[in-house]
A and B are shown apart, each in its own frame.
Chain A
């Protein structure tokens, strides 16, 4: 292990703990099977196929693994939702749609260490009883799709996929499926519809919980790329040992993708909860840009609620409540939730005082207005309305009333939609207005209240400013 060396300039930070990203930017490492095998590859799969499937699920449960796709749902528990009386085929889908703005981790795994993902998937398939699995790769990752195809061919030839895997009776077919360029294909039921060849309209839950009525109305497990890779390491370390990484209920490692106004943005694999947000900025990313002050942080992908730099948060430490500042928030699921945001997809977006808040919000609103699938009324109509209002705020063509309208539009979306995109698109607006109302109102003009809007000039102005 110690002989692992990295490409110069891309060495992991000393505070990192590399499990999943061990081979990312590693000197002399290539995505081929030979390289993977030289490094102990597929040993965990060999072990897995000699185990009881349930024993693997138990290890994953003991490890306390929580999904890295966004919701942080316990992976082992999800696997047990397949009805015990099920007689239909079970499918496993790897969610490689990685589209949440600010998130860029899964792509490196697929580009540089594809067999790690295949091994994790094969173990997971064995555990849940899936004989057919798909990797749903977003359209914008053509290289990843090609590399995965090659890796699947190699692994199949070597007997790690296909019939009678590693001399056992376990068969698994694995396919890469490419999306067509829509963020909503990352939502698991939208993804399933897309995989079935339809528009990716998310399904209503109930009744369409994937583990019960998923792909082709059969039980289907959907997990993120990173989550599935962890499965391999859990098997290697044992669940209990893995659970010692990170903090209780927030175990293991996870990859943080830091972007925005820091000296050295990038990806960092850390033990969950063992670094604070302040350490992420100061240590991992080398601090803010010269002369700049921190204004805000979006800690878990663009849909996570924004945190204001001078905000105070109440957190439970042991039995007592403590008040902390933003820089002291531990980067884990529970702490970020307790601070009113979420760990989400691991995308940490740093915003310094050079950014106009209205511009940041408008940027996010534009994304969600463009990506709403348009199936359900509140999100379809509300996401574009929010964008149009924030267009005007950026352009200085809004009145203070518009800020209030914007907030209530977001309130009319949240909790009322088919899928969690409703929250994803309304949380930014809700949190930005709650925390930066003055900044937003400062960009509006009182005298414009009730004045009819001429959108063409507004847009022209907005484009100029962006």
Chain B
């Protein structure tokens, strides 16, 4: 037995845990869930909800001269204490006993459940949290059926506007203080707090302040009840109808791990998924809400060719052939390809093949730079710059050739341009419509109508990152997987499919039948990916590059774990 392991009896069975493990975590590791509200492993433990009370025992203190007898396994007898303890903040020690099913523990849970419910409104039928509400869940598991409460309930403010993205219903609040602790301890924006006292305790935003930081929606996730709801998701859908798929956010180079919820092909919300190497259990509001464009009216749903009367829809076959023929008609040196660092590695690999096939040298992506916010949002607002650099074999900073390409178009050196996944007239790309009109040929692959598409002779409808499978490499060099969440609209196709077909039309075809196969080809060609498979990437991703880059938020979390302030 290692020195730092202690023997702990949980519901009659002995286990070993490192000394100092919180009782609630020890139970979880032993497969016993202790119900809790206020405890959150990433936040400090105030021990205020009292839902996690359990019966605890320790070896009795021997009387002077008395020797306690050990059983055949060397365990001392356990003397059970009349007073329950909170499992969330107390730690295990040698020969400790925990009872989660005893009469004492059960009566504590029943008591706390009843007390939590007496002033709780009967809002479930109209509450967004219903279906994933801890109050509902634990009252089914640990409550008693009826109510003995005959008094008037305490009245509190409802539908309180505390910020642009979060709504507060004070009557539903169970005062667990998770949201307060999150804003104070993680987001460094302590705008939430309690006012009044006793049963009248009311969560409120500080006078003159708003809950409007870029992490505000995390409070909605951690609120165990329906007190904090997302303005965006409110009243959209009962949660039991949602289909949840694990993916990653493509809002910046962090690649926060997510769970995307949809219903009948529409995305309704995105929530963070725990990954302690990437985003802990949080994500930013901007990334979280950046999915509405998927359902936009402006989505491209058919391949288009430009004629004298403007764009008209054509079949995929004709469109791809037209694009291939046009590109093949130019000298290699007259063609440029601008791809996107928002594309997957698989998409980009086929872009690389396309450039090779056409002999194109002028190849780059659009850089998207902002400021690192000191939490999660990375300075690189592209989700896959590292992947693009690796896969396209860019020998300079991604985006650094774009300026030259613009100049070459102006001078007429470049006459044909294929833009994949980027609107070149965006501020980041910096192409003017006038410049684009100087080109002899402009082709575009994109998921949404835009000014580049307006100018393009051939427009192929692609996929958003919510509609494709594939992989990306985040700013710290982690290889992560993207999953298709909703079906493509109309005739739109995944970008790798479009590129494969284009390559085939140019006779450089390889006939890859899936993004997995594309990844395998990539792994054979680009050494960093060697020996890996797309399906083999764990849901939490894997280290591809040792960049030495750290995540500020995760570093602070590690410090707090080391100090014992949080479990982590």
Contact = CB atoms under 8 A, between A and B. Distances in A.
Interface of A: 182, 184, 199, 201, 204, 206-207, 369-378, 380-385, 388-389, 392, 402, 405, 409, 411-412, 415-418, 452-453, 455
A204 B46 contact: yes
B49 A374 contact: no
A377 B48 contact: yes
A206 B83 CA distance: 14
Interface stretch (B150-158, B262-270, B438-446, B542-550): B150-158
B112 A377 contact: yes
15 contacts: A201-B48, A206-B90, A371-B197, A371-B198, A372-B199, A377-B174, A382-B115, A384-B199, A385-B118, A388-B152, A412-B107, A415-B83, A416-B108, A416-B112, A418-B48
Contact of B47 (A376, A384, A388): A376
A372 B149 contact: no
Contacts of B152: 388, 453, 455
A416 B84 contact: yes
A415 B89 CA distance: 16
Given A377-B112, A405-B148, A207 B89 contact: yes
A96 to B, nearest CB: 21
B319 interface: no
B48 A376 contact: yes
B175 A380 contact: yes
B116 interface: yes
A409 to B, nearest CB: 8
A372 B48 contact: no
B154 A204 contact: no
Contacts of A412: 107, 111-112, 114-115
A380 B115 CA distance: 9
Nearest to B47: A204
A206 B88 CA distance: 11
A374 B199 contact: yes
A380 B48 CA distance: 10
Chain A contact surface mostly: helix
B201 A377 contact: no
Interface residues of B, number: 39
Contacts of A452: 150
B279 interface: no
A377 B38 CA distance: 11
Nearest to B53: A416
A182 B196 CA distance: 11
Contact of A204 (B45, B111, B193, B199): B45
A383 B198 CA distance: 8
Given A199-B193, A372-B197, A377-B175, 18 more contacts: A204-B45, A207-B89, A371-B197, A374-B198, A375-B175, A380-B198, A381-B115, A383-B198, A385-B118, A388-B151, A405-B148, A412-B107, A415-B84, A416-B50, A416-B53, A416-B111, A418-B47, A418-B48
Contacts of A199: 193-194
Contacts of A206: 89-90
Contacts of B230: none
Q: Ordered nearest first, which 4 A-B pairs have the shortest CB separation?
A: A412-B111, A374-B201, A384-B199, A381-B115
B200 interface: yes
Interface string B49-72: 111010000000000000000000
Nearest to A422: B50
B216 interface: no
Contacts of A370: 198
A384 B111 contact: no
Contacts of A382: 115
B154 A384 contact: yes
Contacts of B50: 376-378, 416-418
Contacts of B261: none
Contacts of B200: 374
B198 A201 contact: no
A184 B201 CA distance: 14
A184, A369, A375, A455 interface centre (most CB from chain B within 10 Å): A375
B48, B193, B194, B201 interface centre (most CB from chain A within 10 Å): B48
Given A204-B89, A369-B199, A418-B47, A374 B175 contact: yes
A452 to B, nearest CB: 7
Given A376-B50, A377-B48, A377-B116, A453 B198 contact: no
Interface string B98-130: 000000000110011011101100000000000
Nearest to B119: A381
Contacts of B89: 204, 206-207
B82 interface: yes
A405 B193 CA distance: 33
